[in-house]
Structure 1
Amino acid sequence: MGLTYATVHLTNLFNYQSMEINALVDTGATFLCVTEEVALQLGFELTEARRQVVTLADGHQYKVPKIAPIEVAFGNRSYVTEAVVIGDESLLGALPLEAMDLVVDPRRRQLIANPKHPNYPVALAK
């Protein structure tokens, strides 16, 4: 097994600035996480952003900027969400993965649409 990366399209829904990023698919992370550079390129003002306390894998907690609304798109799927601004690498966490009904193909190390729902995302409502 190895790391899986995916190219996703991000759009700031306030000013419609957008860009593509290569994000690490991290099923152990909760949120979409973007770097400060990505947040600034999308036109977010980090000094005005709300803050979110996050816990890293090593147990340390940090209060970091949270930007919204941001649309993340992959293939024919998209999701409007928030993103936390942290680290030196963007991460695609469980919330956007579940909302867009995406799964990791570990053999090919690729992010794909759920084969059970190839034409549109299906989310659990229970």
Structure 2
Amino acid sequence: MGLTYAELTLTNLFTNQRVQVNALVDTGATFMCVTEEVALQLGFDITEVRQQTVTLADGHQRKVPKIAPIEIAFANRNYVTEAVVLGNEPLLGILPLEAMDLVVDPRQQALIVNPQHPNYPVALAK
């Protein structure tokens, strides 16, 4: 099984600055993660934002900048959220995946809208 990437449009909702990114889809991650370069392209000053404590894959905890509000857009879906500034490539975690009702198709190594709800996202509320 290989890695899955998706083309996303990220928008800073304060300034309407947009950036297109090719993000790694990671169902083991929680948040949307962006690089420092992407945060700056979106117009955020990462020295003036809140911090989020995250646990890295190796078990270490670290405080990282958290930018908000951003909109994530993919296909006919969008989600307003926050993102942590971390790593060397954008990463799409499980919170935005669930909120936008997206699924990973492992055969095609592709991110797709949920085929059970092709026209709009449906969230599980139970």
TM-score (ref. length: structure 1) = 0.99
Per-residue deviation at 1:19?
1.1
Counterparts of 2:125 and 2:37, CA distance in 1: 35
Tell me how far apart the structure 1 counterparts of residues 35 and 66 of structure 2 sit (CA, whole Å). 11
1:97 aligns with 2:119: no
Residue 65 (str. 1) matches residue 75 (str. 2) = no
Shift of 1:125: 1.5
Determine what percentage of the aligned residue pairs are the same residue.
78
3-state SS of paired residue (1:29): coil
Question: Structure 2: which 5+ runs fail to align?
Answer: none
| Distance in 2, Cα, partners of 1:115 & 1:57 | 31
Distance in 1 between residues matched to 2:91 and 2:60, nearest whole Å: 18
Partner of 2:51: 51
Aligned residues: 126
Aligned: 1:87 with 2:87: yes
State the 1:106 CA deviation. 0.0
Shift of 1:86: 0.4
Unaligned runs of at least 5 residues, structure 1: none
Aligned equivalents of 2:120, 2:79: Cα separation in 1: 12
CA distance in 2, matches of 1:114, 1:72: 17
Counterpart of 2:17? Answer: 17
TM-score by length of 2: 0.99
Q: Which amino acid aligns with 2:118?
A: P
Give the Cα–Cα distance (whole angstroms) in 2 for the partners of residues 110 and 34 of structure 1.
20
Kindly provide the amino acid, as one letter, of the partner of residue 72 in structure 1. Answer: I
CA positional deviation for 1:15: 0.4
In the TM superposition, structure 1's runs of 4+ consecutive aligned residues that sit over 3 Å from their partners are none
Opposite residue 122 of structure 1, the aligned amino acid is V
Q: Please, what is the CA RMSD of the aligned residues? A: 0.4
Q: How does 1:103-122 map to 2 (within 5 A)?
A: 103-122=103-122
- Helix, strand or coil at the partner of 2:66: strand
Q: Distance in 1 between matches of 2:101 and 2:18?
A: 22
- DSSP 3-state at the match of 1:37: helix
